[in-house]
Amino acid sequence: MLKKLFLLLAIALLTACLSQNKDAEITTYYFVRHAEKELSNPDNSNPDLTAEGLQRAQKWREILGHVRFDEVYSTDLIRTRKTAQPIAEAQGLSVRLYNHKDLDYKQFLEDTRGKTVLVVGHSNSTPKFVNWFVGYDKYEEIDEKQYGFLFQVVLLGDKVTASLIEIN
């Protein structure tokens, strides 16, 4: 737990250092994959979270509790909405839906510019989203058994910084 707190402190310090440029607008994104999903019915394309997944959603709420989000986004699936909901509720926000299969990245950037945003997605769409911001394929798809990756993207003017922390 100490290592996790140290890593979050490092991210906060990086954000603070980037904010020294008072003329540049800061936009910060946090990306997570949905929590553990129910796999007992392979024909179900919209499964719920498992008990472990519900616990992880609460854990994300605790871990990200120090971050003041302006918006929380989720795809329109049960597992992503239930992962995003505890964080949104804790901050008095509603979950905004986005279509990860047909996303206008430039419009999303314009709509969220200058804000701090949480985006809950999937094992394939989350790294793709982060890679769009950095401009190249920095991150690969997330392994199907991995649910504890936290990506942070900070935009300061034309500078982009992306970080990945594994929290299990």
pTM of the shown model = 0.87
pLDDT level of residue 18 (50, 70, 90 thresholds): very low
Q: Domain 2-166: give its CATH superfamily.
A: Phosphoglycerate mutase-like (3.40.50.1240)
pLDDT level of residue 15 (50, 70, 90 thresholds): low
Say how far apart CA 160 and CA 147 lie, in whole Å: 24
| pLDDT tens string 86-100 | 999 999 999 999 999
Flag the least confident range among 14-23, 108-117, 125-134, 145-154.
Answer: 14-23
- Domain ranges in the chain are 2-166
Q: Position 19: which residue type?
A: S
Give, in order, the Cα–Cα distances in Å from 140 to each of 17, 55, 59, 78, 116: 28, 26, 24, 24, 24
